[in-house]
Structure 1
Amino acid sequence: MLTTILIPFLGTILGSAFVFFMRGAMPSLVQKTLLGFASGVMVAASVWSLLIPGIDMCADMGRMAVVPAAVGLLAGMAFLLAIDRLTPHLHIGNSKPEGPRSRLSRTAMLSLAVTIHNLPEGMSVGVVLAGAMQQGSAITSAAAMAMALGIAIQNIPEGAIISMPMRAEGNSRLRSFTMGALSGLVEPLGALLVVALASVLTPALPYLLAFAAGAMLYVVVEELIPEMSEGEHSNIGTIGFAIGFTLMMVLDVVLS
């Protein structure tokens, strides 16, 4: 179980290490490709690893089986929207911070933006693991591993997208790597919290699966796709999305 939880964090660490091997800012073409790839992985994971299993768990409700998924999805989006509004943060490539006014440094606000991004990913791994731990659940340990691998794969380019701009902001390579790597620490912590509460949360598991999906989809629609679509090379981001979506879909189906 611990290995599954740590796999996404290792992906962030590996991606953040790119700052030691790449000089200057990350080319726009590469960044848009990676943003599209991360978006595709998260959308596919939301559908195949979270929403569909949640609906399947409520099959005895007949046509009403979709209700927990719908409620959880909207609640997850509302939760991320609230955090987005209440937390001072700065998105990569933007000069104007979002959220309430703050005296935090640009580096700190960049880190907070990424932490907001990573929180639903950690929750997603944790809730799928929690489902796999429940007897009689349709969710398997292989499905949890597929989710962890998919998130880890998209965390590799994400880690680079974080550490490289921090280097461009004037931070040292070591500091940029450290900040990039630590931005992923919220993922195993979020996963561990959900797993620890698994026995208490069992009745609400279908809602939690959809909640995690809603939170991830919020990040994709609010942050990743707009950044991917700005300026030139937006079609490259779309290709990255297709590759990421297909890869996560295959992982989920083959390993489940």
Structure 2
Amino acid sequence: MNTFYGILIPFLGTTLGSACVYFLGKNLNKNVQKFLLGFAAGVMVAASVWSLIIPSIDSSSSMGKLAFIPAAIGTAAGIAFLFLLDVLIPHLHVDSEKPEGLKAKLKQSTMMFLAVTLHNIPEGMAVGVVFAAFSAQSLGFAAAAALSLGIAIQNFPEGAIISMSLAGNGESKSKSFAFGVLSGIVEPVAAVITILLKNLIVPVLPYLLSFAAGAMLYVVVEELIPEASEKPHSNLGTIGFSLGFILMMILDVALG
């Protein structure tokens, strides 16, 4: 039951964020958006380090000075995986006019939805991996819950940004909210699939922990930081990043 609630917490964050379209109107202030993107990036980087890469290295301690190998291989594989999805899946980032990925005749709202869904995949995998480790008694519940809560916190602004951006582009509030919620469904789905494969995962847990970290870091560097750092007032993104990083670090250490 703890695992069930744990994997739903991030989805709740996305849902609550998407509901902001009903209370804050159709346009999200650009400066607020930069701050929130920076905040989300900070949470994801801290989660990648404390919740995924460090546990990956710790669980490989029997390798001695070579304990970094699974973490290095997994991180590189996660980056390569997200790069491949980024190249193949047609998507459109918020405030961008040029689609990325393979050419496809899709509506703008659909391509924006795919952009958010794309970087929710590694977050769902990360939650699934840590709760698979918890169910296999390789990781404590508090440590798994810390990652889940941290991702939920950064999902709130992401849900708000996608729903309000869609509303600002002409979609109804109800449809914008629905798209925002649906973009987050991939997280519990990815988490459940990962947990169901627990028996296959546990032997390669160090690799999968760092794989999820690499995928999350790709999203941060490729998307979140560039969007948060656009001038003017790029310092707002930096402040947001700092606060998100510190908050996630505190959560992981205090709860883990």
TM-score band w.r.t. shorter chain:
over 0.9
1:194-229 CA distances to partner (integer Å, 9 max, x unpaired)?
A: 111011111111000000000000000000000011
Counterpart in the other structure of 1:64? 66
Structure 2 counterpart of 1:91, from 82, 90, 93: 93
Deviation, 1:245, is 0.4
Counterpart in the other structure of 1:196? 196
Deviation, 1:156, is 0.6
Alignment of 1:168-247 (within 5 A): 168-247=168-247
Structure 2 gap ranges (5+): none
Counterpart in the other structure of 1:16? 18
Q: Distance in 1 between matches of 2:13 and 2:26?
A: 22
Counterpart in the other structure of 2:253? 253
Structure 2 counterpart of 1:118, from 109, 117, 120: 120
Q: Distance in 1 between matches of 2:25 and 2:47?
A: 33
Deviation, 1:57, is 0.3
Q: Distance in 1 between matches of 2:169 and 2:77?
A: 35
- Give the structure-2-normalised TM-score: 0.98
Structure 1 counterpart of 2:43, from 31, 41, 44: 41
Q: Distance in 2 between matches of 1:49 and 1:3?
A: 18
Q: Distance in 2 between matches of 1:209 and 1:23?
A: 39
Counterpart in the other structure of 2:6? 4
Deviant stretches of 4+, over 6 Å = none
1:25-63 CA distances to partner (integer Å, 9 max, x unpaired)?
A: 111110000000000000000000000001000101001
Counterpart in the other structure of 2:27? 25
Deviation, 1:23, is 2.0
Deviation, 1:133, is 1.8
Q: How many residues align?
A: 254
Q: Distance in 2 between matches of 1:217 and 1:59?
A: 23
Deviation, 1:24, is 3.5
1:101-157 CA distances to partner (integer Å, 9 max, x unpaired)?
A: 10110011101111101000000011011111223x2x2111111011000011111
Structure 1 gap ranges (5+): none
SS at match of 1:178: helix
SS at match of 2:184: coil
